[in-house]
């Protein structure tokens, strides 16, 4: 297999997963990250590590450390904190920061307190991570794509890639350069998120959330919590974090025209408005105090305890976006992860999508599967799970459903990808993809 020059746009989890998988195939990989800092900032977010995420780390990780905390049960509480539904189910929970630092250690040898840097493998390709590089253009040059960028200091430059991967999230620049009329739209509600050290949580919170995946549904409300690794990825009991995601309706015409409570929750302590995400530590204390009072009035006590105890909550507006296509310029440019389809958090599949897209792209470039199969699987997954997230979120936040319906939605979202049967509508336009013998592909 000839060595390729791979350019990846976006240095968060999706870009790092793809970079690591292709580096270990022996290709030379350059990641262009627009953030001016070498390391992305941890937002303290928990991640449900699905099957594809676990498989990715099993296949590519060389750090040799524990990656997740196991949840043993799934619980549903009523308003009085009684357990009204219980399922024995093992799931694995990790954190964004542990995932990020393990990927950086594996990809380009970044040292941290999270994990040891593995030895350099002689068969790996080169790995380069360039921060402060904002992509501004793509040009098809036949065998390669010329990627132009602007550095944080205003200088411009370019780099050529045999394959260019757009892994730059829901607001993807790569997608915007190639696809017209794809908009990221506001879903009408936000996720209020935070963590509490388990040794600082109340007894009620520890009983409800330690090694449990616990839910509560109310009118216009869904909240869930689970245990994740603590500082520096600690997985020992007593050193971990209890992580919550608290979905709350904030009606508004769009994120461009926020008003009332939405404008209030997305305006930081310095009076600066934010459009989609309000970082940890930036929320106005007076605004958060209102949210704490609402939590005490509407949530079961363990959840209210958790919300009220978090010291650095952050806010994430829930949005929808999906691209009609995932390959361009004769297959030399591809979209993966959130750049292809932004999944609502209810699906607990955003990181799994990134991991799956990275693995199957590597398999296709290695010749293990056909380009036709790669296309079918990635697009059907994106379409099906994106729609499922929309349906789950709308039913949860705007419907008036019995708990049994929410349980069915959660069970459906927990189905392993390999057990999915793609609906016919998700396959539309994919059945007649040219076979590899007559498709235009990158020269491998």
pLDDT at 436 > cutoff 70: no
Per-residue confidence (pLDDT) for residue 434, from 0 to 100: 56
pLDDT at 372 > cutoff 80: yes
Beta bridge partners of 164: 7, 333
Per-residue confidence (pLDDT) for residue 431, from 0 to 100: 72
What number of other Cβ atoms are within 10 A of residue 425's Cβ? 10
Per residue in 178-207, pLDDT (tens digit) is 998 899 999 999 999 999 999 999 999 999
Per-residue confidence (pLDDT) for residue 41, from 0 to 100: 82
Per-residue confidence (pLDDT) for residue 433, from 0 to 100: 61
Tokens of 427: 């396959």
Beta bridge partners of 197: 241
Mean predicted confidence (pLDDT) in 138-144: 97
pLDDT at 441 > cutoff 60: no
Per-residue confidence (pLDDT) for residue 184, from 0 to 100: 95
Q: Are 242 and 224 in contact (CB under 8 A)?
A: no
Mean predicted confidence (pLDDT) in 22-34: 98
Mean predicted confidence (pLDDT) in 28-32: 98
What is the 3 state secondary structure string of the chain?
A: CCCCEEEEECCCHHHHHHHHHHHCCCCEEEEEECCCCCCCCCCCCEEEECHHHHHHHHHHCCCCCCCCEEEEEEEEECCCCCEEEEEEEEEEEEEHHHHHHHHHHHHHCCCCCCCCCCCCCCCCCCEEEEECEEEEEEEECCCCEEEEEEECCCCEEEEEECEEEECCCCCCHHHHHHCCCCCCEEEEEEEEEEEEEHHHCCHHHHHHHCCEEEEEEECCEEEEEEEECCHHHCCCCCCCEEEEEEEEECCCCCCCCCCHHHHHHCEECCCCECCCEECCCCECHHHHHHHHHHHHHHCCHHHHHHHHHCCCCEEEEEEEEECCCCEEHHHCEEECHHHCEECCHHHCCHHHHHHHHHHHHHHHHHCCCCHHHHHHHHHHHHHHHHHHHHHHHHHHHHCCCCHHHHHHHHHHHCCCHHHCCCCHHHHCCCCCCCCCCCCCCCCC
What number of other Cβ atoms are within 10 A of residue 234's Cβ? 17
C-alpha torsion sign, points 376, 381, 382, 384: positive
Per-residue confidence (pLDDT) for residue 257, from 0 to 100: 87
pTM above 0.75, yes or no: yes
Percent of the chain at pLDDT > 90 equals 93
Contacts 24+ apart (CB under 8 A), 220-224: 220/189, 220/248, 220/249, 220/397, 220/398, 221/246, 221/247, 221/248, 221/249, 221/298, 221/299, 221/397, 222/246, 222/247, 222/346, 222/396, 222/397, 222/406, 223/247, 223/299, 223/303, 223/307
Name the nearest CA neighbour of 15 among 148, 155, 129: 129
Mean pLDDT, the chain, integer: 95
Cα-Cα-Cα-Cα torsion 145, 151, 156, 160, nearest 10 degrees, comes to -20
Longest dimension (CA), the chain: 64
Name the nearest CA neighbour of 22 among 107, 111, 110, 129: 107
Alpha carbon separation from 297 to 99, 201, 305 (Å, rounded): 35, 19, 12
Domains of the chain, each with CATH number or no CATH = 5-42+94-183+321-427 (3.50.50.60), 187-319 (3.30.9.60)
**Cα–Cα distance measured from residue 304 to residue 223, given in angstroms and rounded to the nearest whole number:** 10
pLDDT at 82 > cutoff 90: yes
Tokens of 420: 């999915």
Per residue in 99-131, pLDDT (tens digit) is 999 999 999 999 999 999 999 999 999 999 999
Q: Are 130 and 150 in contact (CB under 8 A)?
A: no
Per-residue confidence (pLDDT) for residue 439, from 0 to 100: 38
**Cα–Cα distance measured from residue 338 to residue 316, given in angstroms and rounded to the nearest whole number:** 15
pLDDT at 443 > cutoff 70: no
**Cα–Cα distance measured from residue 239 to residue 232, given in angstroms and rounded to the nearest whole number:** 10
Per residue in 238-281, pLDDT (tens digit) is 999 999 999 999 999 889 989 899 999 999 999 999 999 999 98
Which residue is associated with the tokens 């009408």?
188
**Cα–Cα distance measured from residue 184 to residue 53, given in angstroms and rounded to the nearest whole number:** 25
C-alpha torsion sign, points 94, 98, 102, 108: positive
Per-residue confidence (pLDDT) for residue 1, from 0 to 100: 72
- Band (360; pLDDT cuts 50, 70, 90): very high
367: left (phi over 0), alpha (psi -120 to 50) or beta: left
């Amino acid at each position: 297999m000839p060595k390729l020059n791979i350019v990846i746009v976006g240095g968060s989890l999706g870009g790092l997963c793809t970079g690591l998988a292709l580096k270990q195939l022996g290709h030379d990989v350059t990641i262009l990250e627009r953030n001016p800092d070498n390391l992305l900032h941890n937002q303290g977010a928990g991640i449900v590590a699905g099957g594809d995420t676990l498989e990715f780390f099993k296949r590519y990780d060389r750090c040799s450390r524990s990656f997740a905390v196991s949840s043993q049960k799934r619980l549903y509480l009523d308003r009085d904190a009684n357990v009204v539904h219980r399922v024995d189910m093992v799931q694995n929970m990790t954190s964004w920061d542990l995932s990020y630092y393990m990927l950086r250690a594996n990809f380009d040898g970044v040292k941290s307190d999270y994990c040891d840097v593995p030895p350099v493998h002689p068969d790996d390709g080169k790995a380069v991570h360039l921060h402060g590089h904002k992509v501004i253009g793509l040009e098809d040059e036949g065998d390669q794509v010329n990627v132009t960028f602007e550095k944080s200091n205003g200088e411009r430059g370019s780099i050529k890639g045999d394959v260019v991967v757009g892994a730059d999230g829901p607001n993807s620049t790569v997608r915007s350069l190639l696809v017209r009329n794809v908009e990221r739209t506001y879903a009408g509600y936000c996720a209020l998120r935070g963590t509490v050290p388990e040794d600082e949580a109340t007894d009620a919170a520890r009983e409800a959330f330690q090694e449990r995946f616990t839910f509560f549904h109310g009118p216009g409300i869904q909240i869930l919590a689970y245990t994740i690794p603590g500082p520096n990825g600690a997985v020992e009991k007593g050193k971990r974090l209890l992580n919550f995601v608290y979905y709350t309706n904030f009606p508004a015409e769009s994120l461009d025209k926020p008003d009332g409570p939405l404008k209030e929750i997305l305006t930081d302590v310095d009076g600066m408005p934010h459009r989609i995400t309000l970082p940890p530590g930036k929320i106005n204390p007076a605004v958060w105090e209102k949210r704490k009072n609402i939590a005490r009035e509407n949530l079961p006590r363990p959840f209210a305890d958790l919300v009220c105890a978090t010291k650095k909550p952050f806010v994430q507006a829930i949005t929808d976006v999906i691209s009609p296509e995932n390959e361009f310029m004769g297959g030399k440019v591809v979209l993966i992860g959130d750049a292809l389809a932004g999944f609502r958090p209810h699906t607990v599949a955003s990181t799994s999508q990134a991991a799956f897209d990275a693995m199957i792209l590597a398999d296709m470039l290695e010749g293990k599967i056909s380009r036709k199969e790669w296309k079918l699987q990635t697009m059907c997954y994106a379409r099906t799970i994106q729609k499922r997230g929309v349906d789950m979120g709308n039913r949860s936040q705007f419907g008036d459903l019995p708990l049994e319906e929410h349980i069915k939605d959660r069970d459906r979202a927990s189905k392993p990808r390999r057990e999915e049967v793609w609906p016919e509508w998700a396959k539309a336009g994919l059945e007649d993809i040219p076979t590899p013998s007559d498709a235009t592909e990158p020269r491998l």
